C-alpha cells in the first residue's frame, strides 16, 4: 500500500513539475506574444499620429508582458490557466479581425 | 499556482531572482560604476590632463581629423568637453547601414591642440566598464541585448512579485534584526528594497525601455518597416525633425567650417552650452549639421539647432520637449543615465545602485541560508544545485570585486606598448572572475568567502599605492592639487577596501568559535550562514 502511495506521490510530483514547465513556457513565450500583439493592436486603434502611437505602445509593452507573466503564475489550477489562454487568443483574434 | 496568491508570488519571486541574480549583480555593480565613468576615464589615462580648449578649436580639430580619415562615413559625431561626462574630446564616425543593419562605428579621442589622436595609454577606461552593464563582453550586441533584456524582464517580474509577497511594507521600514541568521538576511533584503523601491522600479523599467526597439522591434516594424533606416525615420518624425529627413543628394559639396557655427550657438544659448555636434552626409550636397545643447533636467532630449551643412543656414530650432510619449521615453532614459545630475545627486544614485546590488546579493544568500539546515543533514551531502548556487555566490558577490580591481591594476601595470592592450585589460578582468568562480571547488565554502573578501580588500588597497608609484598623480599630489577625479578614485578604493576587510574580519570571527566548540567543517559552514 505504501508502495502505491509513494508511486502516486511520485506521479503527482512529476505532473507538478510538468505543469511548472508548462507555465514557464506560457509565461515567457505566451506573455511575449501577448504583449507584442496588444502593442501592435494599440498602434492600429488609437487615434494619434504614427510616431506617438508607436512610442506609446512601446512604452507599455513591458508592463503588459510583466502583467501577463504575473497572471500566469497567479492562477491556481492549470486548467483555468489553459482556458484563460484560449479565451485571450480568441479575443485577440476577434479584435484583429474587426480592426 | 500554489495554494494562495501570495504563496505563488513568493515562489515566483524566489525563482526569477535566483536564475538571473548573478548576471544582475554584475549589471548593477558595473552600471553603478558608470555613474562616474568620466572620472574613471580620467584615472585610467593619467597622462592626459582634462582639456580646456575652446569650442571653436575643438570643432576645427575634430573636423580636420574626421575629414582625413572618415570621408565616406554617413555621419560624424563630435562629443565636446563642455559636457561634464566628456573629459577628452571624442569623435565618432558611422558608415552607411548595410542590409538594414546599423553601419560600423569608430571612436577616437583627440588632442584639440594638434588634431591628432590623444596621446595616452590604450585603455578601455570607465567607458568600457560601464558599457559591460548592457553590452556584456565577448559577444555581439544582437546577443547581449536579448540576454540583458531577458534578465531585466526577470528582474521586473521579481520586483512586482516581491512587492506582492511583501505584506508589511510600512512596518518593514523600521525592521532590522541583526545577528539572527535567516531572519536578518530577510530583513536586510526587505528594508533596502522598500527604501529604494522607486529607484529600483525606475532603473529596471527604463533599462528595459533602452532595449525595447530590439525586443519589440515588430511594433515599430509593423508601422514603419524594419531596419535602421526606418528606425531613424521614426526618431526624426517623432521629434519633428523634418529637416533631417533627407537622402544624400549624390553630388559632392564641401562641408562648411564647423567652427563658423559657434557665433550662432553662443548667441542662442550662451557660451559653452553645446554638448554634441552631429554631421549627417558630410561632403554631400544635402549635408546637415545637428547641434545639441547640454542637458538641464532628466529629460534626455535637448534643445537642438539644425543647419544646412553646405551653407551654414539655420534650418530649424527644436525644443527639448516634444509630444508626450516622446517626453516620457526621454525622461525615463534620462533618469536611467543620470547625466543631468550634479555631484550630490550622483552620489545618491551611486548609493541607490549599491543598495540594489546588496538587495540582489542578500536575496541570493538568503536562498542558500534558508536551505542549508536541510541540505547539510542529507546523508549524501548537499545537492549539486545547492553547491552550485553557493559557489556562484562566493565567486560573484565577493569575486567580482577582485576582478574589477584587477581591471584597474591591469591599466597601470600592463606594458604601455602591449598590442591590443584594451582587450587585455578586459581579458584579465574576466580571467580573474573565472578563477574566483572556480575557487570554491577547491576550498570549503566558509573559507572561500573569507579569503575572497580578504583578497578584494587587498586588491583595492593596492590600487592607490600602485597609482602613486606609477604616476605623478598619487593621493598626496592629487589632494594637494585639488585633482578630485584622482583623489576621489583613490579614496573610494580605500573605502571599498575598508568595507571588504570589515566583512572578512567579521566572517573570520564568526567562523572561529564554531570550529573551536564543534567538530568538523560542517558546523563552520553553517555558521558562515551570515556571510
Query: Tens of pLDDT along B71-102?
Result: 889 999 999 998 878 889 999 999 988 887 78
Q: What does the pLDDT read at residue B446?
A: 92
Sign of the CA dihedral with B439 first, then B442, B448, and B453 last:
negative
Same domain, B282 and B349: no
Q: Convert the pLDDT of each residue in B274-301 to its tens digit.
A: 999 999 999 899 999 999 998 888 898 8
Same domain, B433 and B417: yes
Q: Give residues with Cβ within 8 angstroms of B203, minimum separation 6.
A: B336, B352, B353, B356
Side-chain half-sphere CA neighbours of B4 within 13 A = 5
Q: What does the pLDDT read at residue B519?
A: 41
Question: Would you place residue B342 in the very low, low, confident or very high pLDDT band (cuts 50, 70, 90)?
Answer: confident
**Secondary structure of residue B108 in the 3-state scheme:** strand
Output phi, psi for B504, to 5 deg: -60, -45
Q: What does the pLDDT read at residue B350?
A: 96
CA pair distance A35, A62, nearest whole angstrom: 7
Residue (of B466, B509, B505) closest to B489 by Cα position: B466
Residues of A with CB under 8 A from a CB of B: 20, 23, 35-36, 39-40, 43, 49-59, 61-63, 65-66, 69-70, 73-76
Do residues B152 and A62 make contact, with C-beta atoms less than 8 angstroms apart? Answer: no
Q: What does the pLDDT read at residue B332?
A: 95
Do residues B75 and B94 make contact, with C-beta atoms less than 8 angstroms apart? Answer: yes
Q: What does the pLDDT read at residue B249?
A: 86
Do residues A51 and B238 make contact, with C-beta atoms less than 8 angstroms apart? Answer: yes
Same domain, B141 and B33: yes
Is residue B171, in this structure, part of any structural domain at all?
yes
Same domain, B397 and B522: yes
**Residue in B208, B224, B328 closest to A62 by CB:** B208
Identify the helix (H) or strand (E) that includes residue B75. Answer: strand B75-79
Same domain, B304 and B430: no
**Residue in A54, A59, A73 closest to B8 by CB:** A73
Q: Give residues with Cβ within 8 angstroms of B25, minimum separation 6.
A: B357, B360, B361, B364, B396, B397, B400
β-strand pairing of B314-318 with B116-117: unpaired
Q: Give residues with Cβ within 8 angstroms of B213, minimum separation 6.
A: A58, B220, B231
Nearest CA in chain B to A76: B1
Q: Which residues in chain A are closer than 8 Å to B161, comparing Cβ atoms?
A: 70, 73
Question: Would you place residue B531 in the very low, low, confident or very high pLDDT band (cuts 50, 70, 90)?
Answer: very low
| Cβ distance of B209 and A62 shorter than 8 Å | yes
Is residue B218, in this structure, part of any structural domain at all?
no
| Cβ distance of B325 and A43 shorter than 8 Å | no
**Residue in B8, B164, B237 closest to A51 by CB:** B237
CA pair distance B96, B17, nearest whole angstrom: 41
> B271 pLDDT exceeds 70?
yes
Least confident of B205-219, B367-381, B432-446: B367-381
Is residue B220, in this structure, part of any structural domain at all?
no
Q: What does the pLDDT read at residue B453?
A: 97
- The parent domain of residue B402 ranges over 381-531
Tell me the mean pLDDT in the region B11-18.
90
| Pick among B325, B328, B331 to test the A interface (most A CBs inside 10 A) | B325
Q: Which residues in chain B are closer than 8 Å to A65, comparing Cβ atoms?
A: 153
Same domain, B289 and B140: no
Same domain, B180 and B314: no
E-strand ranges in B251-380 read 274-280, 288-293, 304-308, 314-318
Tell me the mean pLDDT in the region B104-109.
90
> B54 pLDDT exceeds 60?
yes
DSSP B444: -
CA pair distance B85, B339, nearest whole angstrom: 7
Structural domain total, chain B: 3
Q: Which residues in chain B are closer than 8 Å to A46, comparing Cβ atoms?
A: none
Q: Convert the pLDDT of each residue in B395-434 to its tens digit.
A: 999 999 999 999 999 999 999 999 999 999 999 999 999 9
Sign of the CA dihedral with B216 first, then B221, B227, and B231 last:
negative
Is residue B219, in this structure, part of any structural domain at all?
no
Nearest CA in chain A to B232: A51
Is residue B500, in this structure, part of any structural domain at all?
yes
Please provide the average confidence, as pLDDT, over all residues in chain B. Answer: 89
Nearest CA in chain B to A33: B216
Question: Would you place residue B172 in the very low, low, confident or very high pLDDT band (cuts 50, 70, 90)?
Answer: low
Same domain, B526 and B489: yes
Q: What does the pLDDT read at residue B170?
A: 64
Q: What does the pLDDT read at residue B85?
A: 81
Q: Convert the pLDDT of each residue in A28-62 to its tens digit.
A: 999 999 999 999 999 988 888 889 999 999 999 99
CA pair distance B289, B388, nearest whole angstrom: 54
Same domain, B325 and B357: no
Residue (of B62, B208, B32, B45) closest to B123 by Cα position: B45
Same domain, B529 and B450: yes
**Secondary structure of residue A68 in the 3-state scheme:** helix
Tell me the mean pLDDT in the region A69-85.
89
> B244 pLDDT exceeds 80?
no
> A94 pLDDT exceeds 60?
yes
DSSP B346: H
Q: Give the pTM.
A: 0.90
**Residue in A59, A70, A76 closest to B328 by CB:** A59
Residue ranges per structural domain of chain A: 2-98
Helices B125-135 and B141-165 sit at what angle, rounded to 10 degrees? 70
| Cβ distance of B1 and A58 shorter than 8 Å | no
**Residue in A36, A52, A66 closest to B156 by CB:** A66
Output phi, psi for B46, to 5 deg: -65, -20
Q: Comparing A98 with B502, which gets the higher pLDDT?
A: B502
Give the whole-number percent of chain B exceeding pLDDT 90.
64
Q: Which residues in chain B are closer than 8 Å to A15, comparing Cβ atoms?
A: none
Same domain, B397 and B497: yes
Q: Give residues with Cβ within 8 angstroms of B85, minimum separation 6.
A: B37, B38, B339
- Taking the CA of residue A4 and the nearest CA in chain B, the distance in Å comes to 25
- Taking CB atoms and an 8 Å cut-off, how many pairs form between chains A and B? 93
> B273 pLDDT exceeds 70?
yes
Same domain, B515 and B436: yes
Residue length of chain B: 531
> B241 pLDDT exceeds 90?
no
Q: Which residues in chain A are closer than 8 Å to B9, comparing Cβ atoms?
A: 70, 73-74
Amino acid at each position: 500500500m505504501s508502495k502505491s502511495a509513494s508511486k502516486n506521490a511520485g506521479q503527482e510530483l512529476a505532473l507538478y513539475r510538468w505543469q511548472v514547465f508548462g507555465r514557464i513556457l506560457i509565461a515567457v513565450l505566451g506573455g511575449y506574444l501577448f504583449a507584442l500583439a496588444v502593442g501592435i493592436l494599440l498602434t492600429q486603434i488609437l487615434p494619434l499620429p504614427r510616431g506617438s502611437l508607436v512610442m506609446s505602445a512601446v512604452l507599455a509593452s513591458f508592463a503588459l508582458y510583466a502583467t501577463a507573466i504575473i497572471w500566469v503564475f497567479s492562477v491556481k489550477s492549470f486548467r483555468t490557466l489553459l482556458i484563460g489562454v484560449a479565451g485571450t487568443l480568441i479575443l485577440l483574434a476577434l479584435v484583429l479581425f474587426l480592426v | 499556482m500554489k495554494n494562495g496568491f501570495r504563496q505563488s508570488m513568493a515562489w515566483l519571486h524566489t525563482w526569477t531572482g535566483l536564475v538571473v541574480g548573478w548576471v544582475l549583480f554584475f549589471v548593477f555593480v558595473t552600471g553603478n560604476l558608470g555613474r562616474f565613468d568620466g572620472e574613471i576615464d580620467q584615472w585610467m589615462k593619467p597622462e592626459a590632463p582634462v582639456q580646456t580648449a575652446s569650442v571653436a578649436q575643438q570643432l576645427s580639430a575634430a573636423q580636420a581629423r574626421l575629414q582625413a580619415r572618415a570621408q565616406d562615413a554617413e555621419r560624424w559625431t563630435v562629443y565636446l568637453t563642455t559636457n561634464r561626462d566628456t573629459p577628452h574630446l571624442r569623435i565618432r564616425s558611422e558608415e552607411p547601414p548595410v542590409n538594414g543593419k546599423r553601419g560600423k562605428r569608430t571612436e577616437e579621442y583627440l588632442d584639440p591642440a594638434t588634431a591628432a589622436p590623444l596621446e595616452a595609454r590604450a585603455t578601455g577606461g570607465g567607458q568600457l566598464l560601464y558599457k559591460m552593464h548592457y553590452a556584456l563582453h565577448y559577444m555581439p550586441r544582437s546577443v547581449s541585448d536579448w540576454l540583458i533584456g531577458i534578465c531585466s524582464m526577470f528582474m521586473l517580474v521579481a520586483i512586482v512579485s516581491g512587492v506582492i509577497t511583501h505584506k508589511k511594507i510600512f512596518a518593514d521600514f523600521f525592521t532590522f534584526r541583526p545577528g539572527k541568521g535567516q531572519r536578518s538576511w530577510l530583513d536586510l533584503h526587505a528594508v533596502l528594497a522598500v527604501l529604494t523601491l522607486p529607484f529600483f522600479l525606475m532603473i529596471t523599467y527604463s533599462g528595459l525601455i533602452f532595449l525595447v526597439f530590439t525586443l519589440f522591434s515588430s511594433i515599430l516594424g509593423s508601422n514603419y518597416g524594419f531596419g535602421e533606416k526606418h528606425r531613424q525615420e521614426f526618431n526624426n518624425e517623432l521629434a519633428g525633425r523634418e529637416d533631417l529627413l533627407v537622402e544624400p543628394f549624390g553630388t559632392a559639396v564641401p562641408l562648411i567650417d564647423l567652427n563658423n557655427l559657434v557665433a550662432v550657438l553662443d548667441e542662442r544659448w550662451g557660451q559653452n552650452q553645446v554638448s554634441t555636434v552631429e554631421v549627417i552626409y558630410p561632403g554631400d550636397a544635402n549635408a546637415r549639421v545637428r547641434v545639441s545643447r547640454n542637458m538641464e533636467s532628466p529629460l534626455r532630449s535637448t534643445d537642438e539647432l539644425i543647419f544646412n551643412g553646405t551653407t551654414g543656414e539655420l534650418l530649424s530650432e527644436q525644443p527639448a520637449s516634444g509630444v508626450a510619449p516622446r517626453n516620457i521615453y526621454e525622461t525615463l532614459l534620462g533618469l536611467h543615465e543620470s547625466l543631468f545630475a550634479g555631484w550630490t545627486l550622483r552620489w545618491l544614485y551611486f548609493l541607490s545602485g549599491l543598495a540594489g546590488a546588496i538587495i540582489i546579493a542578500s536575496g541570493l544568500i538568503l536562498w542558500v541560508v534558508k536551505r542549508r539546515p536541510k541540505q547539510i543533514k542529507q546523508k549524501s551531502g548537499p545537492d549539486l544545485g545547492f553547491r552550485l548556487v553557493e559557489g556562484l555566490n562566493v565567486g560573484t558577490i565577493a569575486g567580482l570585486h577582485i576582478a574589477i580591481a584587477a581591471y584597474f591594476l591591469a591599466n597601470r601595470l600592463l606594458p604601455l606598448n602591449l598590442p591590443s592592450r584594451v582587450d587585455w585589460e578586459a581579458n584579465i578582468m574576466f580571467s580573474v572572475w573565472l578563477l574566483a568562480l572556480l575557487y570554491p571547488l577547491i576550498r570549503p565554502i566558509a573559507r572561500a568567502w573569507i579569503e575572497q573578501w580578504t583578497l578584494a580588500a587587498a586588491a583595492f588597497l593596492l590600487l592607490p599605492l600602485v597609482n602613486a608609484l606609477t604616476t605623478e598623480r598619487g593621493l598626496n599630489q592629487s589632494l594637494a592639487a585639488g585633482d578630485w577625479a584622482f583623489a576621489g578614485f583613490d579614496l573610494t578604493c580605500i573605502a571599498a577596501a575598508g568595507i571588504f576587510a570589515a566583512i572578512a574580519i567579521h566572517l573570520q570571527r564568526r567562523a572561529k568559535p564554531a570550529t573551536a566548540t564543534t567538530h568538523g567543517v560542517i558546523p563552520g559552514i553553517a555558521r558562515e550562514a551570515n556571510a
